[in-house]
Structure 1
Amino acid sequence: MNQSAKRSSPLQVALIGGAIATTATLSVFGQAWCRSVRAALQDSPKAIVDQVWQLVNREYVDGKFNQQDWQATRQTLLSKNYSSRDEAYTAIREALKKLGDPYTRFMDPKQYDALTSQTSGEVSGIGIRMELNEKTKRLTVVEAIENSPALKAGIKAGDEILAIDGKPIHDLKVEDASKLIRGKAGTAIVLRLARQGQREMDVRLTRATIEVPTVKYTLKREGSKRVGYIKLREFSAHAADQMRRAIRDLNGQQVDSYVLDLRGNPGGLLQASIEIARMWIADGGIVKTVDRVGGTELSKANNTAITKRPLAVLIDNNSASASEILTGALKDNKRAVVVGSQSFGKALVQSVHELPDGSGVAITIAHYYTPEGTDINHKGITPDIKIDLSDAQERQLAINPNLVATQNDPQYARAIAALSSRNFAQPPANQRSKPLSVRASDLKF
């Protein structure tokens, strides 16, 4: 997200599962209003307090505000004098806590910036993934991202990072090293690296804006079958484009079926989940959202599916929100067989507003339902084939990630067996989903 654009107006965005969608819908607080508030903030952080209250008052999904007197809350908030922004931030958080909704939350400028950076699907840096090697206790490159400065400079998996801009990084955590490595695109950085069998070397790089891969895919041979395996980490701004490229590439390799792995995927952009569902589903409902006054919005497939091949979806307890929208759409339309553990169970949609001082607020604005009208909130999606991993199995896959999506991965192995023996993973002819039907009175907060 462009930094200057990001600060020009309080952009309203749609949020699902803790991530934000960069829509082009402006908040009712216009630019002139924003400039006046920005000026007022120099003397009184109270303006931010009132703006948050106004946004919640207008948008929050529960018109009863969890049985709180929201008008009285405003009077209490504005009766105080705040000597600093931190004081105002604390007051806002305490007020929002009364709503009893962990997804309606205030973010200070650093937290808001981290959220937007994560979900934009882009990062300004050199394009490496790192880990702390358990044996050597050194920061080690796991991967140099495609088309990144790191890859172009010849940095490889296994390279150990010894210093950043001349400063040794002994005992530095991965998160702290990442902060040092990231920076404004166009700026220079020097890494001192150690590579097995070679002398230590200094590598000079220029930071760039990099599209972070959120889709990983490969062709697998399971007996006589060619299986396209796709792992989707989160629903970022680039997820749909990356998914489209993955499916088309695997289609070109003549796969017989697909496994879509959503395990551990916490969600992300609402629109990304809809776009990706349309790549698999030719016709039928995808998701329906209902706001606090019963206003509904129905998203449907639009005959743009790019594959009809059989599909299995893997989910677990950490597959949430946008992951559940996609899984629910595929399951209800009988487009896929769902394998794994019960999903997380979050059926709420948030909008995110940037505030004039760079902070932000996420507000739950709607409840969503699967195509058959199922409310999965606090329940999750039940797989067609339920198979839970034991603690030992989870540890084995965590310690040996190369075992994921192999016959040593019980959920993946069961998905392959289902694709081999069943036909319901193939979309039916003249595919039609049941109509979505839900009443506003069915909402649960």
Structure 2
Amino acid sequence: MTMTKRALVLGATAAAVTAVTITGAGIHLNKGQAFFRESPKEIVDEVWQVIDRNYVDGTFNQVDWKAARSQYLARNYANKEEAYKAIREMLKPLGDQYTRFMDPTEFKNMQIDTSGELTGVGIQLAADEKTKKLTVVAPIEGSPASSAGILAKDIIAQIDGKSTEGMDVNQAVNLIRGAAGTQVKLTVVRGNQQLDFPLKRAKIEIHPVRYSVKPSPTGNVGYIRLVQFSANAAPEMRNAIQNLEKQGVSGYILDLRSNPGGLLYASVDIARMWLQSGGIVSTVDRKGISEKESANNRALTTKPLVVLVDGGSASASEILSGALQDNRRATIVGTKTFGKGLVQSVRGLGDGSGLAVTIAKYLTPNGRDINKNGIAPDVVFDLNDQQRQVLVQDRDKIGTTEDPQYAKALQVLNQRISGKDTTRAESK
């Protein structure tokens, strides 16, 4: 399997606003459109063919996939909406929330401009693996959802008063998205509470990397917060490290909390900035063919590093933190990560719709399969509800000594800098 830069996506979710860039792959739209005008069956068969060739599970979740083709092509479809409904029905037995069909509007919503300007409320959504409830993976920092106080793990119960019971992620995304300046009300369940959040949709300018110099007992340290692995994450990370190196910092804290993932190549490029040698990630397709990515002896720094993670750190965040942990390059502090270890290829189809297909799973350098398991920190340190609320209400406290997880990370980093660290990263 080839790790093409533009096709492989590691985002944990379909999203009301997403940071990943999705491109078409291998379909000539004019030809496909002509086919589709002749018969909606063409798009049904096109989806079937893509799954048949590429889906990660060769047993198709014990589904007789050839029989499925016969079943769905035997039907007559009066219009494209009927065909779209049949496609979603055909994919459902695969039991994979990440393999999903998008109609042209939904697919267009995923083709977000790589400039970093997004429109929406700024939440990443996923269907909970067990309950199937729509769950917030992470609010995007600086977004309307984040400013209003929506948190990772909140359950979206209603959208503008409409129950989300039985609703899939794409349906929810379509209801939440809309023109900048318009309103949407999200009703969330958080523990035993039900909370209403009236939100104004907005254009959200996202710079994935923020950095600063912080004082510490062992000298100044570099603090870098990476909020998503978008197309410009790697260049911004390179700039941050180089500038902090010029300022003579003695170590680094890399904050991946609530980072829901993004592009595979971005996580690999960033890992190479921290690792001089060693493996980064391997992807394994259904034939057992493994593609490995490794460091290339071009690390920008070898100074001590601590990485902050939490339950909202997913996929590409888990690749990066797993690689740094397995290579004993960093100490991981925080709580267990999300646990999404699957790779999707997202492609345009003949009529302007799109299909995300799980084509591989990924493993950390030591061969850990983190899907549904996550990355366990070397130093477990959680926030209580009150501490979380303080940070939500005042985002400027994140990455300061008033942020308890940051304070713990700083303590661990100082131990590493002074050579007194007893929590060096070990394989879990």
Same fold per TM (> 0.5)? yes
- Residue 98 of structure 1 is matched in structure 2 by 93
- Residue 206 of structure 1 is matched in structure 2 by none
| Whole-angstrom distance in 1 between the partners of 2:384 and 2:273 | 33
Indicate if the aligned counterparts of 1:215 and 1:233 stay in contact, CA closer than 8 A.
yes
1:358 corresponds to which letter in structure 2?
Answer: G
- Residue 269 of structure 2 is matched in structure 1 by 275
Find the partner of 1:328 among 322, 326, 332: 322
Q: Using the TM superposition, give the Cα deviation of residue 252 of structure 1 relative to its aligned residue in structure 2, in angstroms.
A: 1.2
Q: Using the TM superposition, give the Cα deviation of residue 43 of structure 1 relative to its aligned residue in structure 2, in angstroms.
A: 3.7
Query: In structure 1, the residue corresponding to 2:228 is in which secondary structure?
Result: coil
1:216 matched to 2:210: yes
Q: Using the TM superposition, give the Cα deviation of residue 175 of structure 1 relative to its aligned residue in structure 2, in angstroms.
A: 6.9
- 323-332 vs 245-254, which moves further: 245-254
Indicate if the aligned counterparts of 1:348 and 1:364 stay in contact, CA closer than 8 A.
yes
- Residue 190 of structure 1 is matched in structure 2 by none
- 12-21 vs 291-300, which moves further: 12-21
- Where in structure 1 are there 5+ consecutive unaligned residues? 1-10, 136-167, 183-210, 427-432, 435-445
Find the partner of 1:46 among 17, 41, 44: 41
Indicate if the aligned counterparts of 2:23 and 2:346 stay in contact, CA closer than 8 A.
no
Find the partner of 1:115 among 107, 110, 131: 110
2:292 corresponds to which letter in structure 1?
Answer: L
| Whole-angstrom distance in 1 between the partners of 2:368 and 2:295 | 18
Give me the TM-score of the superposition, normalised by structure 1: 0.72
In 2 relative to 1, CA 338–107 (structure 1 residues): closer, same or farther, beyond 3 Å? same
Aligned residue-pair number: 349
Find the partner of 2:397 among 395, 398, 403: 403
1:67 matched to 2:59: no
In 2 relative to 1, CA 383–22 (structure 1 residues): closer, same or farther, beyond 3 Å? same
Find the partner of 2:81 among 64, 83, 86: 86
Indicate if the aligned counterparts of 1:335 and 1:424 stay in contact, CA closer than 8 A.
no
- Residue 51 of structure 2 is matched in structure 1 by 56
- Where in structure 2 are there 5+ consecutive unaligned residues? 120-141, 149-179, 186-197, 421-425
Query: In structure 1, the residue corresponding to 2:220 is in which secondary structure?
Result: strand
- Residue 159 of structure 2 is matched in structure 1 by none
- 53-62 vs 37-46, which moves further: 37-46
Indicate if the aligned counterparts of 1:283 and 1:302 stay in contact, CA closer than 8 A.
yes
- Residue 254 of structure 1 is matched in structure 2 by 248
In 2 relative to 1, CA 269–397 (structure 1 residues): closer, same or farther, beyond 3 Å? same
Find the partner of 2:378 among 377, 384, 393: 384
Indicate if the aligned counterparts of 1:313 and 1:338 stay in contact, CA closer than 8 A.
yes
Larger Rg: 1
| Whole-angstrom distance in 1 between the partners of 2:146 and 2:322 | 38
Q: Using the TM superposition, give the Cα deviation of residue 42 of structure 1 relative to its aligned residue in structure 2, in angstroms.
A: 2.2
1:358 matched to 2:352: yes
Query: In structure 1, the residue corresponding to 2:345 is in which secondary structure?
Result: strand
Q: Using the TM superposition, give the Cα deviation of residue 45 of structure 1 relative to its aligned residue in structure 2, in angstroms.
A: 2.1
1:48 corresponds to which letter in structure 2?
Answer: I
Indicate if the aligned counterparts of 2:218 and 2:417 stay in contact, CA closer than 8 A.
no
| Whole-angstrom distance in 1 between the partners of 2:418 and 2:390 | 31
Cα deviations across residues 343-397 of structure 1 (Å, max 9, x unaligned)?
Answer: 1111111111111222111111111111111111111111010111112211121
Q: Using the TM superposition, give the Cα deviation of residue 424 of structure 1 relative to its aligned residue in structure 2, in angstroms.
A: 10
Query: In structure 2, the residue corresponding to 1:374 is in which secondary structure?
Result: coil
| Whole-angstrom distance in 1 between the partners of 2:23 and 2:96 | 26
Larger RCO (CA under 8 A, 6+ residues apart): 2
Cα deviations across residues 162-198 of structure 1 (Å, max 9, x unaligned)?
Answer: xxxxxx96967797653xx69xxxxxxxxxxxxxxxx
In 2 relative to 1, CA 336–58 (structure 1 residues): closer, same or farther, beyond 3 Å? same
1:73 corresponds to which letter in structure 2?
Answer: A
- Residue 412 of structure 1 is matched in structure 2 by 406
Query: In structure 1, the residue corresponding to 2:46 is in which secondary structure?
Result: helix
1:298 matched to 2:292: yes
Query: In structure 2, the residue corresponding to 1:98 is in which secondary structure?
Result: helix
In 2 relative to 1, CA 381–133 (structure 1 residues): closer, same or farther, beyond 3 Å? closer
- Residue 194 of structure 2 is matched in structure 1 by none
Q: Using the TM superposition, give the Cα deviation of residue 265 of structure 1 relative to its aligned residue in structure 2, in angstroms.
A: 0.6
1:318 matched to 2:312: yes
Query: In structure 1, the residue corresponding to 2:94 is in which secondary structure?
Result: coil
In 2 relative to 1, CA 170–298 (structure 1 residues): closer, same or farther, beyond 3 Å? closer
- Residue 367 of structure 1 is matched in structure 2 by 361
| Whole-angstrom distance in 1 between the partners of 2:342 and 2:212 | 33
| Whole-angstrom distance in 2 between the partners of 1:72 and 1:13 | 29
- Residue 72 of structure 2 is matched in structure 1 by 77
Q: CA RMSD in A?
A: 3.1
Query: In structure 2, the residue corresponding to 1:42 is in which secondary structure?
Result: helix
| Whole-angstrom distance in 2 between the partners of 1:425 and 1:65 | 51
Indicate if the aligned counterparts of 1:12 and 1:353 stay in contact, CA closer than 8 A.
no
- Residue 278 of structure 2 is matched in structure 1 by 284
| Whole-angstrom distance in 1 between the partners of 2:383 and 2:116 | 33
Identity %: 47
Find the partner of 1:14 among 8, 12, 19: 8
Q: Please give the residue correspondences for 1:342-353 in structure 2 after superposition, counting only pairs within 5 Å.
A: 342-353=336-347
Query: In structure 1, the residue corresponding to 2:107 is in which secondary structure?
Result: helix
Indicate if the aligned counterparts of 2:346 and 2:357 stay in contact, CA closer than 8 A.
yes
Q: Using the TM superposition, give the Cα deviation of residue 110 of structure 1 relative to its aligned residue in structure 2, in angstroms.
A: 2.3
| Whole-angstrom distance in 2 between the partners of 1:21 and 1:364 | 16
